[in-house]
Amino acid sequence: MPETTRVKLVHEAVRKGVPFTMYFSAEQAQALAVISRDRRVSKSTVVRFAVERLLEQLESGQLQLPFGV
């Protein structure tokens, strides 16, 4: 009998960065899901861009966090 070769059909996700867990309120999670669906991008991509913009604004002085935060 000829030897058969199996082809791996499972797509492996390409992950970049360090995993990080965040907890959102039900309202925030719903809003994130709507934005993600409407723009056809993953929720993690939306959050990654938002955090990137937040850090840039904090570093440039455009945004100040409240005292105690």
In a domain, 8, yes or no: no
The Cα 61–Cα 6 span in angstroms is: 56
In a domain, 32, yes or no: yes
In a domain, 66, yes or no: no
How many domains does the chain contain in total? Answer: 1
Bigger pLDDT: 69 vs 49 = 49
In a domain, 40, yes or no: yes
Question: Can you give the residue range of the structural domain that contains 56?
Answer: 26-60
From residue 62, alpha-carbon distances to 8, 46, 52, 56, 58 in Å are 49, 21, 14, 8, 6
Residue 4, pLDDT > 70, answer no
**pLDDT per residue over 5-58, tens digit each?**
666 666 666 777 888 899 999 999 999 999 999 999 999 999 999 999 999 999
In a domain, 46, yes or no: yes
